[in-house]
Amino acid sequence: MRAMGGASSEVLALLEATFDAVVVMDDRGRITAFNRSAEEMFGYTRAEVLGKPYDDFPLLVHEEDRKLGPRLLEASGQIRELELEIRHKSGRTIHVVIVTDTVEMAGEACYIVIVRDVTQRKRSEALLIQQQRELAHLNRVAALGELSGALAHELNQPLAAILSNARAAQRMLQSDLPNAIEVREILDDIASDDRRAGEVISRLRALLKKSDLQTRLIQMADIIKETLSLLHSDLIQRRVIVSMRLKPDLPLVSGDRVQLQQVLLNLILNACDAMAQLQPGDRRLTITADVTGNDILQVSVRDNGHGIPSEKLEQIFDAFVTTKETGLGLGLPICRSILAAHGGRLWATNNRGRGATFIMTLRVADAAVALEGPLESQFGMKRIS
């Protein structure tokens, strides 16, 4: 317990001068001091609160917070920067950060609570989260816009096969003795092509949809394969040879499926652009996934292009910095923000021979104990159990 001296009037005069709200309570929870800033913050006058238990006032929005404060004080005698939601006398909600300590005033034990209003800061953070999400969505839409021709081809193939098989089945059924086995095989082909088209549409809808971000346990190998499947026709048109080196039984990671697929989509398209001037046989893309030390999943996208100027290896992750003639320079900063929100990293390095490699890391699910905080604070994600 710290002593604040016997001259409480001097101490109270000092508290009165602070811009933060200050509340002093005795060891029974009765309010003994309430400065002018507290009156303005909570809407109660000193005459209304002095001498009364703080429990008489419905200040805390969440009931669990009412129990949390005393538990923290009992454990350590103080509270350091606890964020709470406080209810003003008028009913409006205020976001605050409180600091509490056990002190001695005029020979008596008491608690001093300093309250700082962070409502405006929380509003600014919420606006920033919304802007980041909007920008990430627009980046996905722009990437898919570039792929529109290849995606149309990807859909036309199964749809054309469905039409062809349906007509063949109709002709068979018009014959006197239709072959049931052949008709069954044709129907199986139709069902398979329908599933293929449906998967393409489903993945497109997921990437284009603007909805709340959700974090789940994810198998990264599936994300890689789904992304390559979505880019299948585009990679053929670009005449890029892709190889995958995925370690068997990769551990799960926790994150948002669409966001992580967006990162891979950007990195693969960037790698293809970097190899556009090469001869078709030299356009080689390698995707590797493995686990490094400290429970870190590492995914690398390696191209065979001309590499990145050494002075720009870090600059390319700054907003509006691009090595493309028509690029906006937003894709890589968004990708890095997404990885940071997942508790991971993204960086680039030049290969020894030719080309560059982009490396992304994620903590495996068992090690992602603190994941919920960064995701919610940066992208407003919701954990799905």
Q: Lowest-confidence range among 78-82, 180-184, 244-248, 302-306?
A: 78-82
DSSP annotation of 17 reads T
Average pLDDT over residues 339-344: 86
Q: What percent of the chain has a predicted confidence (pLDDT) above 90?
A: 17
Distant-in-sequence, close-in-space partners of 33: CB < 8 Å, separation ≥ 6: 12, 15, 22, 23, 24, 50
- State the Cα–Cα distance between residues 234 and 238, nearest whole angstrom: 6
| Residues 6+ away with beta carbon under 8 Å from 301 | 264, 267, 268, 271, 285, 286, 287, 357, 358, 360
Per-residue confidence band for 320, with pLDDT thresholds at 50, 70 and 90: low
Residues 245-284: pLDDT tens digits? 999 889 999 988 888 888 898 899 889 989 988 998 899 9
Give residue 158's pLDDT: 77
pLDDT band of residue 125 (cuts 50, 70, 90) is confident
Q: What is the pLDDT of residue 66?
A: 62
Q: Check pLDDT > 50 for residue 373.
A: no
- Mean pLDDT, to the nearest integer, of 147-174? 76
Q: Tell me how long the chain is.
A: 385
| H-assigned helices in 46-179 | 46-49, 63-76, 119-146, 148-174
From CA 48, how far away is CA 198, in angstroms rounded? 65
pLDDT score recorded for residue 374: 44
Average confidence (pLDDT) over 289-317: 89
- Where are the strands (E) in 206-283, listed by range? 214-218, 241-246, 253-255
**pLDDT per residue as tens digits for the range 46-73:** 888 888 887 778 777 666 666 665 655 5
Is the model's pLDDT at 378 over the cut of 60?
no
Question: What pLDDT sits at residue 170?
Answer: 84
Q: What is the mean pLDDT of residues 95-110?
A: 77
Span(s) in the chain for CATH 3.30.565.10: 126-383
- Lowest-confidence range among 10-24, 70-84, 101-115, 275-289? 70-84
**Strands of 284-292's sheet, edge to edge?**
241-246, 284-292, 296-302, 356-363, 345-350
pLDDT recorded at residue 240: 93
- Determine contact, residues 244/223, Cβ cutoff 8 Å: no
Token pair for residue 288?
A: 């590797």
Q: Tell me where in the chain the CATH 3.30.450.20 domain(s) lie.
A: 2-117
- What is d(CA 208, CA 148) in angstroms, rounded to the nearest whole number? 13
Amino acid at 98: I
pLDDT band at 334 (very low <50, low <70, confident <90, very high): confident
Residue 340 has pLDDT above 90, yes or no: no
Give me the architecture of the 2-117 domain, per CATH.
2-Layer Sandwich (3.30)
Note the pTM of the prediction, 2 decimals. 0.55
pLDDT at 315 over 80: yes
Pick 242 or 1 by higher pLDDT.
242
pLDDT band for 289, please (50, 70, 90 cuts): very high
Residue 121 has pLDDT above 70, yes or no: yes
Fold classification of 126-383 is Heat Shock Protein 90 (3.30.565)
Beta bridge partners of residue 3, listed in sequence order = 104
What is the β-pairing status of strands 214-218 and 382-383?
A: parallel
Give the pLDDT of residue 377. 43
pLDDT greater at residue 378 or residue 37? 37
The tokens describing 107, both together, are: 């020979």
Q: What is the pLDDT of residue 67?
A: 61
CB 360 within 8 A of CB 223: no
Give the pLDDT score at 372: 43
- Residues in Cβ contact with 265 at an 8 Å cutoff, skipping those fewer than 6 apart: 140, 143, 207, 227, 230, 231
Residue 170 — φ and ψ, nearest 5°? -60, -40
Q: Is pLDDT of 102 > 50?
A: yes
- Mean pLDDT for the stretch of residues 89-112: 80
> What pLDDT does 382 receive?
44
